[in-house]
Amino acid sequence: GNSVTQMEGPVTLSEEAFLTINCTYTATGYPSLFWYVQYPGEGLQLLLKATKADDKGSNKGFEATYRKETTSFHLEKGSVQVSDSAVYFCALSQGSGGGADGLTFGKGTHLIIQP
């Protein structure tokens, strides 16, 4: 079956530091890949996505590149802010539109940014 593995943290960084959160996946075929963010007390929001190999998703200064050869979708940001403190989830979907096609999530990475 499908699975997603990501570093769980917490990851603590100083403001303006460089961020990398690793995500690797196991899936058949060509899944779509997502990063969701959950701010304290809120639901999940889509941060970025990529639907095919070598695609780069980007949003709010965050980037992730779909690497099929390494089955990875690492999240990066060049300079984090305190407001980026949240839990980040890597997820995949088979993208067929049919069947269950639910999201398979990693366990989430708690990111803490200190001023």
Partner 1 sequence: EAQVTQNPRYLITVTGKKLTVTCSQNMNHEYMSWYRQDPGLGLRQIYYSMNVEVTDKGDVPEGYKVSRKEKRNFPLILESPSPNQTSLYFCASRYRLASIGANEQFFGPGTRLTVL
Q: DSSP secondary structure string, 26-92?
A: E-SS--EEEEEEE-TTS-EEEEEEE-STT-EEEETTEEEE-BTTTTB--EEESS--GGG-EEEEEEE
Contact positions toward partner 1, by CB under 8 A?
Answer: 8, 30, 32, 34, 36, 42-46, 49, 51-52, 89, 93, 95-98, 100-103, 105-108
Closer residue to partner 1, CB minimum distance, 79 or 96: 96
Closer residue to partner 1, CB minimum distance, 17 or 112: 112
Closer residue to partner 1, CB minimum distance, 28 or 100: 100
